[in-house]
Structure 1
Amino acid sequence: MRIEILTIGDELLLGFTIDTNGAHLARELAAVGVEIVRRTSVGDGAEVIAAAVREALDRTGAVITTGGLGPTADDMTKPAIAALFGRAMVMDAEHLAWLEERWRTRFNGPLPVSNRQQALMPEGARKLVNRHGSAPGVWLEDERGRWVAMLPGVPREMRGMLADTLLPTLRERAARESGAGRAEPPVVRSRTLRTTSIAESMIADRLGALARGVDGLSLAYLPGQEGVDLRLTARGLPAADADAALAGAVARLRELVGTWAYGEDAEELPEVMLGRCRAAGLTLSVAESCTGGLLGARLTAVPGSSDVFLGGVIAYANEVKRGLLDVPVEMLAEHGAVSEPVARAMAAGARARTGARVGIAITGVAGPGGGTEEKPVGTVWIAVDVDGEVRTHRSVFIGDRGEIRFRASQFALELLRRTLARTAAV
């Protein structure tokens, strides 16, 4: 089955909203064997919506849209596509009654006139139930078997409807179209090996002959602030065969990449390191200067982090470094705040203040100003103190202020990972 995705909304074209719906649809559909041949974004105008759907139907005969099903004047998806199919818009009395009751019980008042359009459906369309919001989805199909599935643009509603209603329909359809009564259609599945603190080119050198792919599986390099993700993709195999091939390929990549690999798929380094500290019975605290609490925020974003992470100090000013972390004034005067001795003292101070067994300190020049010839913008000193044994590292990170701060927080976790591995603490 070949499908095109059309995401609708002026906000997507203007850059105010990131198209997370298109990405989620592509991942979920690939997992059930659907091939996404094109993703397109258009504005809210009825003419551009109809034109984009018409072109997609001519290419594949199957389109999923998101957006434009709301109650306001710019929600034109249903009437635009209904007109394309030559269908009139008719009122769904059952959904209108449900809307009126919902508004009365939840908002203690009558249904606004504008919301009535959410109960309008193209004639002959199948309603896709939305258990997560007020706008139903729509399945509209013509006599040639070409179809459009319309989903809301609100990500929570779209994802819920996709799982509840649309994916089961597509699985059945894909199984029929795969031919020969095949019980299990081919799938498109991916697995990702996550690395950090190693360049994309260095990974390719390590992989050698596997740099272009592993046993027929495609390999993509996805560099980002966290590091370089290695994504393997299996196409055209039954689910069990795809999973087995991916598992073997990931194992081969991990062996070649070695210690640079820290996790797989959606695993992030804060989650990984909290797990390792938890397994080793280690508690953790932080002392942050240029990152301003970013490392602590990333750690506490992980559910269950409270059994490992005790807290920290945002010591931006030297006075706070002295007063709360006991960094000696003489040390600050002699070496400056961005220095190895100060990073060491900050990590020790964080441990002392919180009673944690592990202290992580970050101090640096995030820019865009403040750099010198000796300490240019991007210079960051990081210290990891585990039960009094300290490991430090100086980096000069590239990027803007936000990127430097994020990369500093990422490498702080990576330095902790290396330190624990070296000391056999986990």
Structure 2
Amino acid sequence: MQVALVTVGDELLAGDTENTNASWLGRRLTAAGATVARVLTVPDDEAVIADAVARYRDAFDAVVVTGGIGGTPDDVTKAGVARAFGRDLVVPESVRAHLEAKAERFAADNPEMVDRYDMDLDLDAWAAVPEGGQPLLTDESFAAGCVVDGVYVMPGIPEELKAMYETVADEFDGDRTTETMHTPAPEGALVDRVTEARERFGVAVGSYPRKDDAPGRVKVTGDDPAAVADAAAWLRERIETADGG
């Protein structure tokens, strides 16, 4: 399963916010057996979002888009996705009712905050999804996410993203298998073995340098679990590993 990630936010491009969502999603999708084939960060610009989604939805099995799904002026992600499909944003009655009830509970639990800041939520903006999309709702996120023909639209706030991802996590199962070993050897000493393992077993082998006091890593990935296991065993016999192998 080939997956593309599109993370949305001016703050990501400016470096004001670290893009932890892409790293977290990459780990989760890889662990599920999917292959993250692209990671793209775009600004809060409806046309740019639409262009990226339109290109990626035809090229990959799934696209995960995160960021800007609320009701503030710069939250244009859902509008961009709708534009990519040539559809309108619609407000499902059931989603609006869900968010209205949620807003009422919040107001009852936080009367001082509501009075102090004169909070006036645009429930239609929070509830809107591209026409034909499947809404995604969680307790952690106020805004509705959605799924539209293999495009998954989720919040940018990490805790909200993680909760919403769990509601669809089973849809990202793939056949990729990975084994990782740690080594104190420098990357330059691994080139010949890594190259030979790739050719001999038909798997992907990546080497990653030491960082601070942590050892380096050699990562074996492939669609055939037996080939991955054989390649990893072959490498462990030929390179120094952190556990003394």
Q: How does the TM-score come out when normalised to structure 1?
A: 0.49
What is the match of residue 60 of structure 1? 60
| Structure 2 unmatched ranges of 5 or more | none
Q: CA deviation at 1:40?
A: 0.6
Q: CA deviation at 1:140?
A: 0.8
Q: CA deviation at 1:5?
A: 1.1
Instruction: Output one character per residue of 1:344-397: Cα deviation in whole Å (capped at 9) or x when no partner.
Output: xxxxxxxxxxxxxxxxxxxxxxxxxxxxxxxxxxxxxxxxxxxxxxxxxxxxxx
Q: CA deviation at 1:199?
A: 4.4
Match of 1:156, SS state, is helix
Match of 1:47, SS state, is helix
- The answer on 1:130 being equivalent to 2:138 is yes
What is the match of residue 169 of structure 1? 171
| Structure 1 unmatched ranges of 5 or more | 142-146, 172-184, 264-426
Query: For the residues of structure 2 that align with 1:158 and 1:234, how far apart are their CA atoms?
Result: 27
1:150 maps to which of 153, 166, 172:
153
Pick closer, same or farther for the CA change 1:170–1:199 going to 2, 3 Å.
Answer: closer
Query: For the residues of structure 1 that align with 2:191 and 2:222, how far apart are their CA atoms?
Result: 23
What is the match of residue 212 of structure 1? 195
What is the match of residue 191 of structure 1? 180
Q: CA deviation at 1:127?
A: 1.3
- The answer on 1:24 being equivalent to 2:24 is yes
Match of 1:226, SS state, is coil
1:223 maps to which of 210, 220, 236:
210
Q: Cα RMSD over matched residues? A: 2.8
CA contact (8 A) 2:65 2:153 kept: yes
Query: For the residues of structure 2 that align with 1:170 and 1:11, how far apart are their CA atoms?
Result: 28
Pick closer, same or farther for the CA change 1:251–1:92 going to 2, 3 Å.
Answer: same
What is the match of residue 127 of structure 2? 119
Match of 1:135, SS state, is coil
Name the amino acid aligned to 1:157. E
Q: CA deviation at 1:76?
A: 0.4
CA contact (8 A) 2:4 2:62 kept: yes
Name the amino acid aligned to 1:230. R
Name the amino acid aligned to 1:92. P
What is the match of residue 286 of structure 1? none
Pick closer, same or farther for the CA change 1:160–1:243 going to 2, 3 Å.
Answer: farther
Q: CA deviation at 1:8?
A: 0.5
Q: How many residues align?
A: 232
- The answer on 1:86 being equivalent to 2:73 is no
Pick closer, same or farther for the CA change 1:75–1:34 going to 2, 3 Å.
Answer: same
What is the match of residue 159 of structure 1? 162
Name the amino acid aligned to 1:167. A
Name the amino acid aligned to 1:152. P
- The answer on 1:99 being equivalent to 2:104 is no
Query: For the residues of structure 2 that align with 1:232 and 1:213, how far apart are their CA atoms?
Result: 14
Match of 1:22, SS state, is helix
Query: For the residues of structure 2 that align with 1:155 and 1:46, how far apart are their CA atoms?
Result: 22
Pick closer, same or farther for the CA change 1:102–1:84 going to 2, 3 Å.
Answer: same
Q: CA deviation at 1:66?
A: 0.7
Q: CA deviation at 1:208?
A: 7.7
CA contact (8 A) 1:191 1:246 kept: no
Query: For the residues of structure 2 that align with 1:58 and 1:93, how far apart are their CA atoms?
Result: 30
CA contact (8 A) 1:221 1:228 kept: no
Q: CA deviation at 1:61?
A: 5.7
Q: CA deviation at 1:243?
A: 7.1
Match of 2:217, SS state, is strand
Match of 1:113, SS state, is coil
Say which structure, 1 or 2, has more relative contact order (CA 8 Å, 6+ apart). Answer: 2
Pick closer, same or farther for the CA change 1:194–1:132 going to 2, 3 Å.
Answer: farther
Q: CA deviation at 1:65?
A: 0.6
Q: How does the TM-score come out when normalised to structure 2?
A: 0.80
CA contact (8 A) 2:49 2:80 kept: yes
Greater mean deviation of Cα atoms: 97-106 or 4-13: 97-106
Q: CA deviation at 1:262?
A: 6.2
Q: Larger C-alpha radius of gyration, 1 or 2?
A: 1
Match of 2:74, SS state, is coil
What is the match of residue 35 of structure 1? 35
Instruction: Output one character per residue of 1:209-240: Cα deviation in whole Å (capped at 9) or x when no partner.
Output: 424364635131233223442131221124xx
Query: For the residues of structure 2 that align with 1:121 and 1:89, how far apart are their CA atoms?
Result: 5
CA contact (8 A) 2:186 2:216 kept: no
- The answer on 1:252 being equivalent to 2:205 is no
CA contact (8 A) 1:89 1:121 kept: yes
Name the amino acid aligned to 2:195. R
Query: For the residues of structure 1 that align with 2:19 and 2:172, how far apart are their CA atoms?
Result: 22
